[in-house]
Amino acid sequence: MAKPFDVTLKSLLEDAPEDWPRLAGVANPRVTVIDADIATISGAADKVLRLEGPPPWIMHFEFQSGPDASLPARTNLYSTALEYRHQLPVQSVVVLLSPRAHLSTITGTLESTLPRATGPYRVFRYQLIRVWELPVESLLEGGLGQLALAPISAVREADLSDVIQAMKQRTARVHDRARLGRWWTAVSVLMGLRYDQQLVNQLLEGVIGMEESVTYQAIVAKGEAKGARQELRKVLLSQGTERFGAPAPPWAATALAQMEDLEQLEALATKLLRVESWDELLPQPRKSPRRKKGGA
């Protein structure tokens, strides 16, 4: 499933990376954003930070705007790969942006069990943040990253105008006009999760750097879907090599390169946890029978 709001959140995180560990309860963090790497899985995760500690550890964020039952398993996959890649403990944080994304299976814990077993053989725990439950007052007092979430937090629509005014006062001290334009555009996109676009436009009228929301969201959706396909292919090739002990055979690499269905690629990422070979992960193409020499 394409996730058009993820691009917006990634941009907010890159602009103010220190705000997000604070949102997850880490005080005064020293943070480094870990860039995507073609040889690692980190680029497939929504965003990855290194916290310097001491001791250091990895904080991995996954943002979700709509329903996706594979989210816990996918977060587990990324967390395991990040720990293996960086040899550091990993704290995974799932940020649900809308009640639509809150499925009964997304609880903060993922348990794997065997038939007839009395208990799970593996337990994966991740931190769960439901943005619509966050107190708006704490977000208004936070950094720019947290401030952008204020309109979709625990705020009544009747109080929304006052919240926007408070946000304008806070951002009046930001002198980087390009950054401010990106930030307000991100706020507009996030507000579209909860409010009618006409109301959003009315509340944000005259704000610096605002782009047409419909146009921006279309660009974001297209770019995110393309990027998600590329990153999932990297994940499957990299993690398949580690899990199966051999790189993808040519037929498997070709099949992945030609696969455009995002949901199919995500399903393969989950299936990767359960299979033991490339043959089990991907069906081999049938070979066309060779025609006999001299035959009709």
Q: Is 37 helix (H, G, I), strand (E, B) or coil?
A: coil
Residues facing residue 50 across a β-bridge: 32, 58
End-to-end Cα distance, the chain: 48
Q: What is the pLDDT of residue 140?
A: 94
By the 10 Å C-beta count (0-12 exposed, 13-18 middle, 19+ buried), 151 is classed as buried
Q: What is the pLDDT of residue 37?
A: 46
User: What radius of gyration do the chain's Cα atoms show?
Assistant: 22
pLDDT tens digits along 165-174: 999 998 888 8
Q: What is the pLDDT of residue 43?
A: 44
- Extract the residue ranges of the chain whose pLDDT is less than 50: 1-2, 36-43, 209, 211-216, 218-219, 295-296
pTM of the model: 0.67
Q: What is the pLDDT of residue 147?
A: 93
Q: What is the pLDDT of residue 219?
A: 47
- Tell how far CA 72 is from the center of its chain: 12
Q: Is 59 helix (H, G, I), strand (E, B) or coil?
A: strand
